[in-house]
Structure 1
Amino acid sequence: MTTAALEIDAVIQNWRRRFFRRDLGLSALKALGLDSELDLTQLDLLFAIRGPVNEYGEDASKEETMVSTVAERLRIDPSRASRLVSDMIARGFAQRAVSQCDARRTIVELTEKGDAVVDAARKFKFLVMGQFLSGWSETEIATFLPLMERFSAWTDEAPEIGAEHFPQEVADIARTLAKKYQD
């Protein structure tokens, strides 16, 4: 298991570095002629306002999107989400509306312009990923997706998995580290 964990970690680290460059999102903005109008953070914000089911879960498309919802979906501070949303509203990609569930609440929705951007970016990503996956067999895809979902679910739990699960091992690692710092 240790060898497998190291190999998985190496693959994840390499993928993470490529992922953080955000090549696919940057390519979408450039190919669609949006790179002078939007950056990746703003594109992420538009996706968070829309709340696609396949990205944010089944309830995403059913719930109304508030600024706090955007902050939660993007895992950012609510004040930052508020500034980003205000910017998108000022630029015509989003708008404020009154909640249909509670008239005292303000929700955020995409405008036609914002919807068009999200739709176009999703279609671009689907084309690129579809082309890549076209070299995979149905069996490979059917095997990969559930495993990827299972592994991804673990990462949601990972912050809760800490030193309390391996107290002796973590204490040994900490002692070894402390000795290296003392030398």
Structure 2
Amino acid sequence: MPLSDKSELNALLRKAGIGAATAEAVMDIDGMLQQWRRRAMKRELGHKALVDLRIGIDLAQFDVLVAIEGPAPEFGEVMGETMVASVAERLGIDPSRASRLVSEMVEEGFAQRAVSQADARRTIIALTEQGRAVVDAVRAYKYLIMGDFLGTWPAEDVAAFVPLLKRFSTWTDGIEAATEKYAAEIDALSPKGAKSGVAA
């Protein structure tokens, strides 16, 4: 019976020591995450915000403004001055693309270049007042929409959900340890005839 059959998947997880309730949750969560990923890739809310607010930039350009700001919830603890290399690293894009996007934002008046206070040979990037207004407006727009949705939930559900979501958001941090733990099971899952060492 193929592993696409739910009972077979359940059996596999149970054999690996994963409880029935957890196995069911894993399969449900995976399905929801796939749906969420497809919708997130479309970035419906961000696009709608830029259109409704009549800002006149695209999502890639907006991402650069956010990366210049470097807020902690999105990029962790951001220290020091922001340079083009910082933007490239935060967004996971090529430095040349980051440089082009930053230049566009400077030309449009949303960002500005300045000389580093720490090293006069270094050029840093900062938001202008206009750029700050754009980031703040889009963020407030998103918070209004999400707040409207969460506002329909009982307070105790919201109080339970937020810390659990924060906890769940770190689940991929344990991938290496989990793959070592289940090395035998993972090896057995490899389709027959697959070449050893060839990445999927």
| 1:43 paired to 2:62 | yes
- Count of matched residue positions in the alignment of Structure 1 and Structure 2: 174
Q: 5+ unaligned residues in a row in structure 1: which ranges?
A: none
Mapped to 2, the partners of 1:115 and 1:27 lie a distance apart of: 19
The one of 115, 132, 135 equivalent to 1:98 is 115
Give the drift of 1:163: 4.3
| 1:144 paired to 2:161 | yes
| Partner in structure 2 of residue 4 of structure 1 | 25
Mapped to 2, the partners of 1:120 and 1:177 lie a distance apart of: 54
Matches within 5 A, 1:62-141: 62-141=79-158
Give the drift of 1:137: 2.0
Letter in 2 for 1:45: V
Mapped to 2, the partners of 1:172 and 1:94 lie a distance apart of: 53
Letter in 2 for 1:170: I
Mapped to 2, the partners of 1:174 and 1:106 lie a distance apart of: 50
Mapped to 1, the partners of 2:176 and 2:53 lie a distance apart of: 40
Q: 5+ unaligned residues in a row in structure 2: which ranges?
A: 1-21, 196-200
Q: Tell which deviates more after alignment, 48-57 or 138-147.
A: 48-57
Give the drift of 1:162: 6.8
| Partner in structure 2 of residue 178 of structure 1 | 194
Deviation digits for residues 49-75 of structure 1 (CA, Å, limit 9, x no counterpart): 111232222x32x42111111112111
| 1:19 paired to 2:36 | no
Mapped to 2, the partners of 1:177 and 1:132 lie a distance apart of: 49
Change (3 A) 1:135 1:81: same
| Partner in structure 1 of residue 182 of structure 2 | 166
Moved over 6 A (4+): none
Mapped to 2, the partners of 1:63 and 1:138 lie a distance apart of: 38
Q: TM-score with structure 1 length normalisation?
A: 0.86
Give the drift of 1:176: 3.8
Give the drift of 1:8: 0.8
Change (3 A) 1:6 1:177: farther
Of Structure 1 and Structure 2, which has the larger fraction of its residues in helix? 1
Q: Tell which deviates more after alignment, 9-18 or 48-57.
A: 48-57
Q: Which has the larger Rg?
A: 2
Partner SS, residue 178 of structure 1: coil
Letter in 2 for 1:7: D
Q: TM-score with structure 2 length normalisation?
A: 0.79
Letter in 2 for 1:171: D
